Structure 1
Amino acid sequence: MIRIKARAPTGREAVLPTVWGAVAVGYKFGCPLAQQNGLGARIVTSAVFFAVGTGLIFHVRRTLLRELRLARRAARAAQNVVLRPPPPRLDGLNVAAAQLSADRGASVGGDLYEVIATEYGVRVVMGDVRGHGLAALGTVAALLGSFREAAHDEPELGRVLRRLDRTLGRHLRERARSEHPAHGAPDPENPVAEEFVTVLLLEIDRDGRLRALNCGHPWPYVLRGSRVDPLSRADPLPPLGPFPLPAELEALPCRPLLAGESVVLFTDGAEEARDARGRFFSLPEALREVARHHPVSPQTVLRMVFAALRHHAPGPPTDDIAVLVLRNDRGGACRTSPAARDGEAGGSAARPCQAPTRPQPSTRR
C-alpha cells in the first residue's frame, strides 16, 4: 500500500508560533495596560490578541499550503513511477496516452494502462479500478507490476490475465489484513467484497494481427480512415475480483490493425461524462470528428478528444478518465481485400485475420 508520510514541523517552523505566544503572554502578565479595565485598555488588549491570532492563522495557513504542495508533488511522483508515460514509438506503433483524475487538484486516479513490446508482440493493458485517488493507486501499482512481468514471461494472453487475477486477489487479502489487524485471521473471507477491476488486454503482432481479452471493460474503437468502428461486439467476461475466471481462456481474434489505422482504448469515465442537461458524452461522435481530419497522429486524437470532453462537461470530472491511442505506422501490416477492410455498414464484429498461423515464439529471453 502506498502511503505519503506527513513531515514533522522543523524547529525553524516552530519559532514564529512560539514568538507570537510569548508576545501574548508577556503582554497579558507584564504590561500594566493589560491589567486595567478601562475602555481604552480593553481596546488595546483586544487589538494585541487579534494581531497575535491573525498571525498564527496566517502561519498555519502557509504551513498547510506548503504541506499540500509537497503532498501533491509526492503523489505526482508516485504516479509517474507507477503509471509511467508510454514511449511515443514502440515497435512500429505510434503511442500516446493521457489521464485525468476525478480528485480535485490531484493527478492520481484508479485508471491504469501500459504498453510493452515483447517477443510475442506489443501487449497492452487498460484497466479501471473501482474508486479513485490514492486509495486506488495501490491496486494500480500491484496490477501494473504484475502485467510488466507477465507480459514478457507468458506466451499466451490468457495466462497473463490469470496472473493479474491472482495478483489482485493477493493484494486485496493483504490490504484487508492491514486494515483490520484485529481479526487475526491468516486469510480473511471476502476481504474487499465490493472491490473489482475492469481489464482489457490486447496483443498486436508484427503483421498487425490483433487479439483481445476483455473483463468488463468498454471495447476500444478503431479509426479506419474516416470510419470509427468498435473493435468487437462480443460480450466481455466479468470484471476481475468478484467472480473467478473461466477454466478456458482463449484470446479473441479481431480484425487486423492495418498500416495507418488507430485503436483507441479508454475507461468508462470518458463515455459517462455528462453536460449540464445530463446528456452523456458521445466518444464515437468525437472520434468521427477527429477522423475527418485524417491522417492524424495519436497525440492529435488525444488533444481533440479531451477538448471535446471539456466542451461537453466543463466542470471537474466525476470519474477518472484515461485514453490510450495506438496507430500502426508499420509498412508491412497484414493486408486484406478492400471489401474486408471496409466491411459492411455497421459490420464491426470481430473477425480473425486471414493470414498464416502465428509463428511459435522463440525460447530465447
Structure 2
Amino acid sequence: MAESQAKRPFELGILTFGELTRDPVSGALPSSRQRVRETIEQAQLADQVGLDVFGVGEHHRSDFVGSAPAILLAAAAERTERIRLTSSVTVLSSEDPVRVWEQFATIDLLSGGRAEIIAGRGSYTESFPLFGYDLADYADLFREKLDLLLAIREENPLTWKGKFRAPLIDADIAPRADALPVWVGVGGSPASAVSTGRRGLPMAMALLLGPLTQHEQTAALYREAAREAGHEPGPISVNVHGYVGRTSQEARETMYPYFAQGMRENNHQRGEGMMISRSAFEAQASPGSGLLVGSSAELIEKLLAYHEVYGLNRALIQLGFGGMPQKEHLEAIERLGTEVAPVVRREVAA
C-alpha cells in the first residue's frame, strides 16, 4: 500500500440506482413515488448515523427512478447536513458536460460544498440512442467529454472546441464551485485505469461479482500510470453490493431473495437478467469473494481485507438491491454507520 494512500482517512458510504423490483415474497411492485421518497429517507438516515458518502446512480429505463441523479441529490442536500453527495455514476458519454457541471455546482452550493461527480462510460447503454449518440463513438465520447468537464472546472470563461458538441467561445459557465471533485468510474478495464491515473484523477472501481482481488491489477496499473505522469496516486474507491444484519445468517437470508430478484429483473439491457442460485450467492458471500454481506463483525473484517488488497480510501455499498423493504434497508444503514464504520476507520487509521 502506498504511504500516501494510508494517510488518507477511510470513508464508508452507500449508493442506490433506485431500482423498481417486484417483491419476491408479496409480489408487490413499488411505485416510482414510493421509491423516490425512500431514497431521500435513506440519505437522511445515512447522514444521521455518520456515514461519509451517499450516491445515486444513473439509468434510463422504466425499472429505475435514477434517470436524473442530480435532482435526487439536490433533494438529499436539503435533508442532510454532513454527508458527501455523489453520482454513482454520471454516464458522461451521453451527457452534456456543461449541464453536468451546472447541476453539480448547484448541488455543491445547496449542500455547503458536499457535491462530487463519479463520471463513467456506462455499463448500460440505453442512454446513447435516447440522446442521439452512436455506440461506435463509445470511447471517444467519454474522453472528449471528460476533457471538457475538467476544463470547465479549471477555467471560466472557457474557449473550447471538440468533435461531438458545438464549440465554446469565451463561455461563462456558472455557478462556480471551489473544488468540485471528479472521480472516474472504472469497471476493471486496464486501459481505463491507466487513463485515469495519467489524468491524476481519483478512481472508483465497480465489483459486482467475483473474487475480492479481482481488480488488484487495475489498482496497480492506475498507481503506476499516475506516478509515470508525475502525479501522486489519488484515492481509490470500490462500489460493491452488500447487506449488514444482526447475524451472518440473518444477513444472507434477508439479502438473497431480493438480490436474486434484482439480478433477474434489473441487471440487463433488455430482456432476461442474470439468474443467481443460492449456492452461487453463498460462494460470492465467502471471505475471498466480493459481496459485503454478513454481520457487522463480518463486514468489518472484509472491508479491512479490501483495504489491505487495494489500499482503499473509500467503499460504497449498494445495500438492499432488488427492492428490499425499507424497514430492513434502514436497519442495515444504521448498523453500517454505528457498528461498522467507526471500527473500520479506527483500524485503518491505526
TM-score of the pair, normalised by structure 1: 0.28
Higher relative helix content: 2
Higher relative contact order (CA closer than 8 Å, sequence separation 6+): 2
TM-score of the pair, normalised by structure 2: 0.28
